[in-house]
């Protein structure tokens, strides 16, 4: 399943508009796109969106037990905002241990009707550039390349400011970006390793189906 390019860009615009206008489960600082849509491909195999969030430590911890009783989810008011859970209880999501999961809550809120769509939401407390570097270093140390973050990205929104220029380039497919292996070489991989890593990233992506989300803490 693929996605028409115009529909993909429109979907990203909807995500940014939602972040701008609505309470989020955690503070959001940046919205990026990377991979196929940034390259100007049409159609695109998957729409990759990256969200930089703040880690929430204290919001309204006294309400945690209340939400655990009413919704069976621990940590509301600690890891996700109680105000958000009051307003959008339908988007409240937990991890396997029953604790409120910020990345799952963000995915439910930002991609509420996209269960079958080829969209991936990457959520991290670090900026896109910093996480690209951290993930690449980890992958090289382990010789495990599947979780490398494609470095070919574009920042569309940061700290409350939308980049109209970036959106215009995205719509027109005007970002000039290298191949994935070329981008990885620019970050320090040698030629052979970069090619192997690029193949691993592509193979991993091809195995994904429907809307997916991944949370990362750096």
Compute the CA torsion angle 171, 112, 127, 44 (nearest 10 deg): -40
Whole-angstrom CA distances from 71 to 80, 103, 105, 114, 183 are: 14, 18, 14, 23, 45
Q: Which residues, 6 or more positions from 140, have their beta carbon under 8 angstroms from its beta carbon?
A: 189, 193
Q: Specify the pLDDT at position 194.
A: 95
Q: Is the pLDDT of residue 58 over 80?
A: no
Structure tokens at 15: 């995500």
pLDDT at 160 over 90: yes
Mean pLDDT to the nearest integer, 92-108: 96
pLDDT value, residue 217: 83
Q: What percent of the chain has pLDDT over 90?
A: 89
Q: Calculate the average pLDDT of the chain.
A: 94
- pLDDT score of 114: 82
Parallel/antiparallel/unpaired status of strands 119-124 and 212-216: parallel
User: Residue 52's pLDDT is what?
Assistant: 98
pLDDT band at 218 (very low <50, low <70, confident <90, very high): confident
What percent of the chain has pLDDT above 70?
100
pTM value is 0.95
Whether 113 shows a pLDDT value over 90: the answer reads no
Which sequence spans correspond to the domains of the chain?
5-53+101-216
- Tell me the average pLDDT across 155-173: 96
pLDDT in tens, 62-77: 889 999 999 999 999 9
- Single out the residue of 47, 35, 45 nearest to residue 9, CA to CA: 47
- pLDDT tens-digit series, residues 22-40: 999 999 999 999 999 999 9
User: How much is the average pLDDT of 41-52?
Assistant: 96
**Looking at residues 172-195, what average pLDDT do you find?**
94
Rounded average pLDDT over 163-174: 96
pLDDT number for residue 61? 87
Q: What is the pLDDT of residue 204?
A: 93
């Amino acid at each position: 399943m693929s996605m028409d390019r115009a529909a993909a860009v429109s979907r990203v615009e909807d995500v940014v508009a939602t972040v701008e206008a609505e309470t989020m489960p955690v503070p959001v600082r940046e919205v990026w796109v990377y991979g196929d849509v940034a390259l100007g491909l049409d159609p695109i195999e998957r729409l990759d969106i990256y969200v930089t969030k703040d880690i929430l430590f204290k919001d309204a911890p006294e309400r945690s037990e209340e939400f655990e009783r009413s919704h069976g989810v621990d940590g509301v008011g600690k890891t996700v905002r109680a105000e958000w859970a009051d307003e959008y209880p339908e988007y409240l999501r937990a991890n396997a241990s029953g604790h409120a999961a910020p990345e799952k809550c963000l995915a439910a809120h930002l991609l509420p009707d996209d269960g079958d769509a080829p969209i991936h939401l990457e959520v991290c407390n670090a900026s896109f550039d910093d996480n690209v570097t951290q993930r690449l270093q980890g992958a090289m140390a382990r010789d495990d390349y599947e979780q490398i973050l494609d470095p070919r990205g574009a920042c569309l929104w940061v700290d409350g400011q939308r980049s109209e220029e970036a959106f215009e380039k995205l719509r027109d497919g005007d970002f000039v970006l290298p191949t994935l292996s070329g981008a990885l070489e620019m970050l320090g991989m040698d030629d052979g390793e970069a090619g192997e890593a690029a193949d691993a990233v592509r193979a991993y992506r091809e195995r994904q189906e429907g809307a997916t989300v991944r949370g990362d803490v750096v």
